[in-house]
Chain A
Amino acid sequence: MDKLIADLKVQIIEQLNLQDTKPEDIGDDQPLFNEGLGLDSIDALELIVLLQQHYKIKLSNAEDGPKVFKSVKTMAEYITEHQPKV
């Protein structure tokens, strides 16, 4: 899980063009939206793209979004649970 969380932080910075942010600036439990990392609705769409591109996971239920994208840790947990088994 730690490796996945570390990878996700790098991928989020790259996908969302957060060039002034370093992976260590993002806390595992830090909220990604609003008062946390300050992401917006377009960033939310880019996170969905990230899940599809890097982990082949399609978010089937849009209502799951706020729960899945609450923090890097919740994203990692969702990926671990839903990533297709090879």
Chain B
Amino acid sequence: MIEDKLLIWKFKRGSSDALCRIYEKYKDNMLRLASALLNDSAAAEDIVHDCFVSFAQSSHRLKVSGNLRSYLAVSVASRARNWNRARKRQETAGLNEAEPIISSYKRPEQWIIYNEQLSLLNNALEQLSYQQREVISMRLQGGMKFKAIAGLQGVSINTVQSRYRYGLDKLRSILYAAGVFR
């Protein structure tokens, strides 16, 4: 936390070393969060890329009141939400034309290397409602407090906690059925 404050202080004063450190420190977290929210590796990579580029450009007007990880997580989640909203609007293709949920395309510049555990978890998260998925991902992968998530979703803390609890229950049963827990 203190390191983050120092990094932000340096970053705002033009230190690219601080920016590199922030990137190294949080890129995995943000990729994990974005891929959990979207279950689409290309979109997740684009969003995290854009998030960091936008962050880099905001040094002169940046104001981080909470912790840096949450700040970045909110940025990723907002973009993911927009992306999902856009995707819903465009869902007009017939089922036969539709791609699988996780794109099987291997791109040379692919950023995230999916392993079995990550794919399994993301597929399980995909089966939750978006609100539940968002709460769980932002809590566990974004390190956010329930209060902050409630603010982001525009609902009460109780609602967020319920979404978290029910989401975890459902996730457990999905993963149990998939043989992850025995």
A, B: real partners: no
B: residues with CB less than 8 A from A are none
